[in-house]
Amino acid sequence: MALRIGNGYDIHRLVAGRPLILGGQRLEHPAGLGLDGHSDADVLVHAIMDALLGALSLGDIGKYFPPEDPQWKGADSLELLEQVTALVAERGWRVVNVDSVVIAERPKLKPHIEAMRAAIAARMGLEADQVGVKATTNEKLGPEGREEGISCQAVALLERP
Ligand code: MG
């Protein structure tokens, strides 16, 4: 059996007047901030997609869903994840698991983690226990700590039976 591993990273700016969507869940930021971006700016789902693509050396999400393409304006990232998962399957690979960590000072993500895992797993045709989502603050350090943005790191393991 062949195995492949990939990693993904993403960061989006926190701005006023935008929704905060993470793992397909709409959250409330205490300062009313949301993530800026061409799509729904779901950094968690973006990092997972890049990990999947990276595992097969297929490039990154910018290649498949270019930000300058109006087609992807306001796109639901979970739908894009479904497409990336299909691409992986078309090439004969199966996802063993994904794991991720969201770096955000606020809001508290813990109450939403299970819903994020369930939503991501459902779109990928996985069980929730194959999808790890963790959250950490950045101890008020750096851009995440100053609430200038929220970032995410993810890894994905694929197998080809
Ligand atoms: Mg992104």
Amino acid at site 100: S
For the chain, residues with pLDDT lower than 50 are none
Q: Which of 16, 10, 70 is nearest to 41 (CA)?
A: 10
Strand 94-103 to 149-160 pairing: antiparallel
The residue written with tokens 């971006």 in the block is 37
Alpha-carbon torsion (153, 40, 104, 151), positive or negative: positive
- Ligand 1 center–CA 1 separation, angstroms: 32
pLDDT of residue 64: 94
- Ligand 1 center–CA 90 separation, angstroms: 24
pLDDT of residue 74: 87
pLDDT of residue 10: 98
DSSP, collapsed to helix, strand or coil, labels residue 112 as helix
- Ligand 1 center–CA 46 separation, angstroms: 5
